[in-house]
Chain A
């Protein structure tokens, strides 16, 4: 070991001496200062709109419409928040967002891991074909299926005033069913869980099968507990995605009681142009849950993205 380290040192020294010692040192320090300066300037620009949203949400309208802009509220108050909850039925929007995001997440975790287990650990006729079809669905952009799915939902029989042939009413449009069920399965989720489950040794499952465990018990009592990290990652991704989603609710929802937070706020902007004080409070409320999820699970989050990015 000692020899090796000495060797490494001896190769480094001449490399340093190539430059004229002091100048090189100066360049290194100034280089580092430049790195900090650029990072600092960059973060100021990136964080500013965010800080601006938070500080505006605590200001009175009269303070918001003032030049120069005041970054620190003069008379900070929760009035905007109180007013927003009162005026726009935001409590209902909040409930809708949470309900839909949590249900879809639970549903996707269940269906994805069930399917992933089957694809990863069972042998049965047609497995590879079905798996290829599942992956193939990822290729199709949402815009292609958007319009037919709207029509399909409209014709779900027995719902929303429809008869057995699925006509006459609005079906699953403008309902929680329509917001939740079509998002209940995810090819990405199946793929992610399958990759993870492949690392579980087959011997473990075979032993349980010999002991007479049913496939569902093996899945629920052996496989699922081992998959906790993957389930956490998929859960975070799904929750954030559904919470942020705007396009699907925009198309499905027409009545006010079913609006989610992003949809409610967006329609607020499109229809009333000037209530920035209330909007900023609403924006903070909408961002907060995903921000908390991110800060708590930051490490999983960034690692997850890095892993999907490496492939």
Chain B
């Protein structure tokens, strides 16, 4: 701009497409350092995310095995195959089972602990740290510890359940086809409650004390105050936790890989476990890419559904 004034009286150019383009280019040249600053990030994202997604899409339309030179185009075959793949259906079922049990338990217990800690009590910080300790523990380590706890011969779980006469003989836990998934779920709940607790504690602190005072004067019992004030006012916190936890549990893998490796009898095969074995054990990467897109679609669908479903509740 300063250039044109220096050359004489400034005449506003008619904004044709060409001069507009030229102005943008001049502005880009002037601000070239901005693009330089963005270069590392843009380069990494364009290779490992943007190009990568496109490439995944390409792979999903091919019979693509990394070990075989011939990689024929197969159209929608990979997606069609998903529909009749009994193992994939089983993986979806197991993942839904895992999600449906672990998410409500984690969020419910997190809320319960947060409510208990929200009283005026001593050693609040210590209790909070105790419940948060599993969150800090690396997931691989948590899985290893619990695998040892579930040990059929010497594990803690069997010892204390038998000591308190809850069971009569040792359980096989991770080797039992009906108990393996619940055992993995318990591990995940143990690991996740602390996170939900911290988020709920923050939410609880934003509820004005006056509401409770008013409710007390009206003679509302503790239970009614919880049901009619606390829980509704925490609904945006709950929505956040639900979205995060459901997306996370759709992707469950590490616990499965370490504790059961999909067994017994495929009862703990989850979607990501199946994607992993298909891509990196069988090297059937085209088919695995199609599965990954199916998972993506499920996650997207669930997120949109929850926002729609819960927004109505928040706005009443």
CB within 8 Å of B: which residues of A?
11-12, 15, 18, 32, 35-36, 38-39, 42-43, 46-50, 52-53, 56, 64-69, 110-112, 114-115, 117-118, 122-127, 130, 133-134, 137, 139-152, 154, 181-182, 184-185, 187, 190, 214-216, 219, 240, 243-244, 246-247, 250-251, 262-263, 265-266, 269-270, 276, 279-280, 283, 286-287, 290-291, 294, 298, 302, 305-307, 309-311
Contacts and interface: CB of A to CB of B under 8 A. Distances in A.
Contacts of B31: 122-125
Nearest to B271: A143
A267 to B, nearest CB: 10
A46 B24 contact: no
B3 interface: no
Instruction: Determine the main DSSP class of B at the interface with A.
Output: helix
Given A137-B45, A266-B140, A145 B121 contact: no
A146 B41 CA distance: 19
Instruction: Determine the main DSSP class of A at the interface with B.
Output: helix
B159 interface: yes
Given A11-B217, A46-B190, 12 more contacts: A39-B113, A50-B137, A122-B34, A130-B42, A137-B50, A141-B251, A147-B285, A185-B45, A243-B138, A244-B139, A247-B253, A311-B240
Contacts of B181: none
Contacts of B147: 269
A298 B188 CA distance: 22
A64 B148 CA distance: 11
Contacts of B27: 124-125
A276 B295 CA distance: 35
A280 B50 CA distance: 41
Contacts of B251: 141-143
B274 to A, nearest CB: 11
B116 A35 contact: yes
A168 to B, nearest CB: 13
Given A46-B134, A52-B156, A67-B154, A152 B37 contact: no
Interface stretch (B5-13, B95-103, B191-199): B191-199
Interface stretch (B81-89, B201-209, B225-233): B201-209
Contacts of B293: 144
Interface size class, chain B: 35 or more
Interface string B266-283: 000000100100011000
Interface of B: 24, 27-28, 31, 33-35, 37-38, 40-42, 44-45, 47-53, 55-56, 59, 66, 113, 116-117, 119, 121, 127-134, 136-149, 151, 153-154, 156, 159, 163, 190, 193-195, 198-199, 201-203, 206, 213, 216-217, 219, 237, 240-241, 247, 251, 253-254, 257-258, 261, 272, 275, 279-280, 285, 288-289, 292-293, 295-296, 299-300
Contacts of A280: 145, 148
A153 to B, nearest CB: 9
B198 A305 contact: yes
Nearest to A294: B136
Contacts of B139: 244, 246, 262
A75 B163 CA distance: 25
A240 B48 CA distance: 22
B233 to A, nearest CB: 13
B24 A144 contact: no
A241 to B, nearest CB: 10
Contact of B130 (A35, A46, A311): A46
B138 A287 contact: yes
Contacts of A143: 251, 272, 275, 292, 295-296
